[in-house]
């Protein structure tokens, strides 16, 4: 093959054509990494997407510099997956490639400055920066731009370098450096060759009699080797045990008596304890497993709808075991790795070294190691967050998406938007493998698919050990207020119930899903509130840090003591945050140990681990927290969950607000009475007649989902339509406004009016100094979707023709 289409790690449309040099023609394959020149002098690592022979175009392709792999590093299923993602989520292949790969696998050239020796330096005629740079280069012959930044201001670097190039003192070069380095550990061994030559051990030992320490060291190593010939002797271990120094060791090495050697070590320690068998299933669980098996035989994927603590994990384990037994691999997706200890511990004990983890907390080198192990098929089971969808699986047989409703699967930590749950379904298809979605509160979309038997619905309605489900009670705040039975944000009833738990040494959870102490600090005199300087939002008051924070850009400001506008001293807080609820709780239950769990409290190192311990040991009596507390806290001693301000969960302007409220409340409720079956949930609201509370209270799945489906049908939301949100952003509002209007008009030229909403200002009109506009597309779900999507692409091409609008940043949120 003479030519190749290459995916570059850049946010550019499509692929680029390169010529395959003669000597690589035999070796090159689709999915390999190649080194290619691009632009002026930059060198990037690209991926071979396609190979072909005929090439006819006006430009002359450059040549591939080299191959980086002897075998494809991206399996063809992954390439298919990338292509699908690119067209479905309207993003460039290069962005996907960049997101998919650990950066150490993407070599990139770096610009270096080098000292030329052809001219003697005339130090008199140099300015300060030039002098610094040349002096630095006399010490170290090569420097990269970052290193230079340390002693020359950023904006003066280019000038300085150019001046010195003109004087022919220096030159610039591009250099590629291998980033990944295996971690190596030093070991020692007796040099047996030498021993054979010398013929006598005693002779050697006596030869060292004038160097007592060396003799001692030699004997120690010899001792260890005889003791256990199989076990390598770590250098650090020797130095730990005896009082030796490096020069003594060096002498022994010079005398060829001892050898030092290195072995590569995994950065990730895998479990090496005893392996355990998995537990027996209950009758109910066995039934669910056989349902799943039946579905798989019919080539159907599964939605496992198991109520909280029904033992979905057991069923996963069973299916994982089946898959592993048939020599195939498993991917288990979790929303966040840190909050799901239980499941990982159990799997570790069953599979030990065959289990791998992949998530955002790993360092880049650790990612590379997992990547390689997956590639070499050393891991049979991978537990990971959504970025593990891109690992180079070879033989995937099963994908499990746990807590499939979780919004973390749609998190926006990548440049492009994608839903990991839906993507997993496609990935499963490309690998011809099966998939299980699991949740106690499935997303409406998955539930709808299941009802239509597009995926098989497998319910699991019994709590493990046949324990009772928690009981819900709705408390009318208005009524409590009129009867004067209210203390701050808590009704008397709520306080009594918590006291009851404290008496019985049981733990309680208080859910309040709003960060900070108060939503805003307001001046009573003039009404002034502090806005974030970068965003169009008011700043939230955090009492624990005693500062104002912007939850959108992270900007922080000191807490004002007087009004910044009228200098009045009458400042008041508005809107209750979780810190305030915590403070109030501590006041009311002064004897109790109260802890708070939210992103702010968990930011400190090991904060989560410490809190987890406290909860497990029963030291914490009352846990106050945001939605974070709905995940992973499976403790036996929690029996009460209270939600003092449940209305805040519902009146959010988002068509999914009620669905989320239902999921959150049900998930938190599931923490209560897991063993005793005495779980109790108290929900305080001003609107006890709101249907959502009635539905949550009854926990009748069909009723709840029918209600949601009705609402969505009425107002045309998913799953009845497909949504695409176009976000447009720019620093200049007028330009953005013009561009948005233009895009709106182009879209309306091709696509029916009723499918297009906007453009309009986003609810938060400015984030991080970027103004935000949005256009919402509601496309039909039938065959027309594809047609409309093509019309959208056509509109975008037309929009792109206006060069002035190229600087407008656009994001597409497909199925957001």
Q: Does 62 bind DNA (CB under 7 A)?
A: yes
Q: Does 125 bind DNA (CB under 7 A)?
A: no
Annotated binding residue at 755? Answer: no
Segment near DNA (CB under 7 A); pick from 8-16, 543-551, 622-630, 649-657:
8-16
Q: Which two tokens stand for residue 722?
A: 């497909």
Contact 804, 743 (CB under 8 A): no
Q: Residues touching DNA: how many (CB under 7 A)?
A: 23
For residue 655, the SS3 value is: coil
For residue 716, the SS3 value is: coil
Smallest gap, in angstroms, from Cβ of residue 361 to DNA?
24
Nearer to DNA, 80 or 156 (CB): 156
Q: Which two tokens stand for residue 374?
A: 């997956």
| 80 to 119: interface string for DNA, x by CB under 7 A | -------------------------------x--------
Contact 433, 396 (CB under 8 A): yes
Annotated binding residue at 535? Answer: yes
* Interacting residue with DNA among 21, 37, 232, 575 (CB under 7 A): 37
Q: Does 727 bind DNA (CB under 7 A)?
A: no
Annotated binding residue at 323? Answer: no
Contact 768, 730 (CB under 8 A): no
Kindly report the CA angle at 75 between 23 and 420, in degrees rounded to 5?
Answer: 145
Nearer to DNA, 154 or 702 (CB): 154
Name the residue among 189, 421, 413 with its Cα closest to residue 303. 421
* Interacting residue with DNA among 7, 32, 34, 38 (CB under 7 A): 38
Beta bridge partners of 126: none
Q: Does 232 bind DNA (CB under 7 A)?
A: no
- 3-state helix, strand, coil split of the chain in percent (to 5) is 40, 25, 35
* Interacting residue with DNA among 17, 66, 411, 544 (CB under 7 A): 17
Smallest gap, in angstroms, from Cβ of residue 18 to DNA?
5
* Interacting residue with DNA among 155, 196, 702, 714 (CB under 7 A): 155
Smallest gap, in angstroms, from Cβ of residue 15 to DNA?
7
Smallest gap, in angstroms, from Cβ of residue 143 to DNA?
16
Rule CB under 7 A: which of 158-177 touch DNA? 159
Instruction: Give DSSP secondary structure letters for 294-334.
Output: HHHHTT--EEEEE-TTS-HHHHHHHHHHHHHHTT-EEEEE-
Nearer to DNA, 42 or 485 (CB): 42
Name the residue among 448, 385, 456, 367 with its Cα closest to residue 421. 385
Distance CA 625, CA 669 (A): 13
DSSP tag of 11: S
* Interacting residue with DNA among 16, 99, 409, 608 (CB under 7 A): 16
Distance CA 327, CA 380 (A): 8
Segment near DNA (CB under 7 A); pick from 35-43, 309-317, 362-370, 479-487:
35-43
Annotated binding residue at 553? Answer: yes
Smallest gap, in angstroms, from Cβ of residue 446 to DNA?
34
User: Looking up tokens 């919402």, which residue turns up?
Assistant: 776
Nearer to DNA, 354 or 730 (CB): 730
Which residues lie closer than 8 Å to 740 by C-beta, 6 or more apart?
Answer: 728, 758, 759, 773, 775
Contact 543, 580 (CB under 8 A): yes
Distance CA 675, CA 671 (A): 10
Annotated binding residue at 532? Answer: yes
Q: Does 807 bind DNA (CB under 7 A)?
A: yes
Nearer to DNA, 62 or 250 (CB): 62
Q: Judging by beta carbons within 10 Å of its beta carbon (0-12, 13-18, 19+), is residue 572 exposed, middle or buried?
A: exposed
Q: Does 146 bind DNA (CB under 7 A)?
A: no
* Interacting residue with DNA among 29, 50, 80, 156 (CB under 7 A): 156
Segment near DNA (CB under 7 A); pick from 291-299, 570-578, 691-699, 803-811:
803-811
**Sequence ranges of the binding site for Zn(2+):** 523, 526, 532, 535, 550, 553, 563, 566
Point out which residues bind DNA (CB under 7 A): 10-12, 16-19, 37-40, 42, 59, 61-62, 111, 155-156, 159, 803-804, 806-807
């Amino acid at each position: 093959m003479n030519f190749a289409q290459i995916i570059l790690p850049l946010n550019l449309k499509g692929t680029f054509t390169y010529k395959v040099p003669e000597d690589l023609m035999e070796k090159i394959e689709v999915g390999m990494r190649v080194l290619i020149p691009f632009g002026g002098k930059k060198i990037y690592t690209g991926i071979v997407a396609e190979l072909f022979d005929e090439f006819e175009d006006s430009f002359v392709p450059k040549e591939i510099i080299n191959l980086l792999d002897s075998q494809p590093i991206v399996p063809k299923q992954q390439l298919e997956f990338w292509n699908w993602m690119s067209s479905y989520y309207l993003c460039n292949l290069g962005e996907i490639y960049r997101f998919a790969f650990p950066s150490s696998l993407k070599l990139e050239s770096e610009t270096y400055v080098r000292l030329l020796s052809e001219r003697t330096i005339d130090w008199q005629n140099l300015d300060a920066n030039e002098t610094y740079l040349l002096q630095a280069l006399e010490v170290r012959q090569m420097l990269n731009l970052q290193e230079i930044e340390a002693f020359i201001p950023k904006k003066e670097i280019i000038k300085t370098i150019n001046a010195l190039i003109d004087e022919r003192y220096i030159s610039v070069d591009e250099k590629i450096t291998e980033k990944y380095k295996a971690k190596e550990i030093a070991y020692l061994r007796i040099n047996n060759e030498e021993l054979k030559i010398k013929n006598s051990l005693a002779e050697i030992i006596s030869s060292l009699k004038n160097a007592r320490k060396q003799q001692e060291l030699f004997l120690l190593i010899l001792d260890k080797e005889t003791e256990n010939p199989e076990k390598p002797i770590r250098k650090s271990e020797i130095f730990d045990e005896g009082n030796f120094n490096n020069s003594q060791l060096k002498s022994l090495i010079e005398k060829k008596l001892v050898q030092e050697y290195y072995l590569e070590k995994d950065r990730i320690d895998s479990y090496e304890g005893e392996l355990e068998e998995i537990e027996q299933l209950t009758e109910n669980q066995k039934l669910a497993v056989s349902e799943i098996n039946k579905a798989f035989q019919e080539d159907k994927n599964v939605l496992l709808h198991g109520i909280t603590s029904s033992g979905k994990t057991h069923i996963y384990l069973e299916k994982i075991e089946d898959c592993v037994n048939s020599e195939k691999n498993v991917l288990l997706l979790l929303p966040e790795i840190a909050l799901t200890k239980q499941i990982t511990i159990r799997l570790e004990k069953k599979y030990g070294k065959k289990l791998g983890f992949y998530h955002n907390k790993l360092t880049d080198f650790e990612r590379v190691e997992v990547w390689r192990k997956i590639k070499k098929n050393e891991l049979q089971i991978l537990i990971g967050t959504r970025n593990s969808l891109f690992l180079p699986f070879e033989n995937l047989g099963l994908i499990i998406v746990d807590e499939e409703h979780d919004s973390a699967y749609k998190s926006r930590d990548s440049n492009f938007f994608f839903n990991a749950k839906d993507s997993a379904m496609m990935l499963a298809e490309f690998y011809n493998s099966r998939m299980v979605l699991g949740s106690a509160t499935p997303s409406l979309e998955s539930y709808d698919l299941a009802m239509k038997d597009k995926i098989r619905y497998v319910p699991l309605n019994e709590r493990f050990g046949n324990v009772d489900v928690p009981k819900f009670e709705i408390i009318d705040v208005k009524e409590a207020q009129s009867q004067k039975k209210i203390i701050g944000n808590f009704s008397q009833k709520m306080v009594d119930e918590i006291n009851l738990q404290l008496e019985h040494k049981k733990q309680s959870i208080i859910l309040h899903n709003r960060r900070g102490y108060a939503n805003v600090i307001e001046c009573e005199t003039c009404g002034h509130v502090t806005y974030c300087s970068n965003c169009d939002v008011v700043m939230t008051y955090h009492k624990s840090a005693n500062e104002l924070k912007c939850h959108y850009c992270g900007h922080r400001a000191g807490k004002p003591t007087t009004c910044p506008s009228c200098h009045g001293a009458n400042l008041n807080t508005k809107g209750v945050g979780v810190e305030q609820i915590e403070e109030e709780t501590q006041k009311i239950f002064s004897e109790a140990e109260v802890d708070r769990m939210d992103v702010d409290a968990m930011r400190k190192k090991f904060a989560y681990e410490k809190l987890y311990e406290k909860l497990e040991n029963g030291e914490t009596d009352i846990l106050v927290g945001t939605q974070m507390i709905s995940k992973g806290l499976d403790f036996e001693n929690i029996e009460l969950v209270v939600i003092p301000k449940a209305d805040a969960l519902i009146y959010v302007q988002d068509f999914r607000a009620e669905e989320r409220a239902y999921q959150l409340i049900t998930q938190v409720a599931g923490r209560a009475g897991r063993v005793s079956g005495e779980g109790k949930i108290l929900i305080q609201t001003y609107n006890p007649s709101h249907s959502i509370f009635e539905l949550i209270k009854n926990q009748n799945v069909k009723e709840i989902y029918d209600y949601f489906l009705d609402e969505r049908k009425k107002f045309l939301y998913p799953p009845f339509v497909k949504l695409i949100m176009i976000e447009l952003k720019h620093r200049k509002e007028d330009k953005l406004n013009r561009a948005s209007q233009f895009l709106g008009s182009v879209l309306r030229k091709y696509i029916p009016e009723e499918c297009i909403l906007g453009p309009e200002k986003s609810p938060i009109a400015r984030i991080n100094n970027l103004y935000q506009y949005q256009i919402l597309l509601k496309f039909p779900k039938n065959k027309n979707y594809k047609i409309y999507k093509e019309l959208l692409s056509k509109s975008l091409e037309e929009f792109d023709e206006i060069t002035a609008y190229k600087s407008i940043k656009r994001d597409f949120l497909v199925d957001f």
